[in-house]
Chains A and B, each alone.
Chain A
């Protein structure tokens, strides 16, 4: 579609003991693309995310990001390459302020060394000022700038999810993996998140989106990959997926055969 392939998954399989969580998973995501990854509960979507971001080792198969083989890399190394994820459950640093959360997320942009810090060199102050400026920018982007001083744990559920995205954005991703970003949100909140997703894509960040809310996925995705029981059962444009018989069966079950 859009540009060059950024993430390529080849024949990835994951087994927990005898349970096959993923098998023969093969697909790609291109630069600047939004790909939806959908499937019924337990289809293996989150397992796939864990494999791509180094939280789980695949039993077999290869994951490449911009040509670099990710197998065996640690999560922080993968994040360092620009492939950054969010988590399904709210994941923010609850006991820190919203502003500090983003500062933590900006870790990779800091350059000050141990000696700069210990000796309080001017370089340290400049770096801290830069980082604080970036943090304000990111908070403005996700619309949380007025909550900067609040404790993250005191935010509403929807705001915490937004902060989770802000944290991921702070890590300077070239591709973002969003794990159910709008689950449990009311329609206006989820519309806000989807607008944010479009904004992020407009900045040249590819996005892989796991989401249950069908209308949302159909609306923003360029392409959709459907998983069921750990396998890809369909792949294509939103319109194609909506008509795909296997997808309908996976979600609605097999209807009564007409007599």
Chain B
């Protein structure tokens, strides 16, 4: 029974291009998938360590720019006439370098916010995103500034002995996003259900109590920031090679807000939360667009978010889980098994 649900979703992801003919819907699914990966990474910080990163799009954007520049190549003059020339590399290299560099910037942010928590952490992350946006906008020689980086090549996967396969069509990108999303889900899932995840949850719930039992809370906050930033960077890289054009607007605050809304409505601190929230807010614009002007759309999203926060403050997924749990519990109580059921769920970890 426990294996049935993930198997079902894996099957849906795998078979989707066979029964979904509409290329536009597939496109929405791919971009939504990329944003869901970014939202999952934000959930690791927000839902498990309790730190709100309001500059999370910075890691996403860094990933996108690093990956694009690695594959496009660049020729930049640094201070004192020192030239750095980089020949184009394959997109796969860009993907892994993007993850590395985004992870490193996550490390810097984590270390900077060594002592600051709560509101101060939020301010540090917002400032960081703004700084990266200004760099992307003004370092024209490297990033083309507002002219955008264009003609970003697609992913090419090399199979030894089988030749190269370039991902041109949407179906291929759907599978790529699916695989990366799955890896991100498994990485985050394993982390949060381990000793490391318990340390993160302890930091969120009660920091002094956590340190009083010997947990080095800063260490785990930095670790969460690195993993989270690296995954966001990976998502950014997918975005760059799928959309094939990126400009400094990728760092806009609204994208971070979108990710936060996805996590909060879906349910922070639950693995499936960002996926549910992501699907809702990924498809909402498509549905609403048919009958509402852009300005009205934003009002609708805002209204919906407020509604969800008021009605389901824990988010959709945890509320549903709680509801199902209480139903099964009352059923087993009727059968006189409440004790066995109750103690089992504690030991199952």
Contacts and interface: CB of A to CB of B under 8 A. Distances in A.
Given A55-B208, A91-B206, A149-B346, A105 B194 contact: no
20 contacts: A75-B211, A84-B214, A85-B212, A86-B212, A87-B212, A93-B205, A93-B209, A99-B349, A100-B349, A104-B201, A104-B210, A104-B215, A107-B198, A107-B199, A107-B202, A107-B214, A117-B190, A132-B347, A132-B349, A168-B213
A132 B201 CA distance: 17
Contacts of B211: 74-76, 79
Interface of B: 187, 190-191, 194-196, 198-199, 201-202, 205-206, 208-217, 223, 342-347, 349
Contacts of B213: 79, 84, 104-105, 107-108, 167-168, 170-171
B285 to A, nearest CB: 34
A183 interface: no
A114 interface: yes
Given A79-B211, A79-B213, A149 B343 contact: yes
A66 to B, nearest CB: 16
A149 B345 contact: yes
Contacts of B201: 93, 96, 104
A114 B227 CA distance: 11
A148 B347 contact: yes
Contacts, number: 107
Contacts of A93: 201-202, 205-206, 209
A118 B212 contact: no
Q: Shortest 5 CB-CB distances between A and B: which pairs?
A: A149-B346, A79-B214, A110-B195, A171-B213, A75-B211
Interface residues of A, number: 45
Given A94-B205, A103-B349, A124 B214 contact: no
A53 B211 CA distance: 10
- Count chain B CB atoms within 10 A of each CB in A55, A76, A132 and give the residue with the most: A76
Contacts of B343: 146, 148-149
Contacts of A252: none
Contacts of A237: none
Interface in A138-166: 146, 148-150
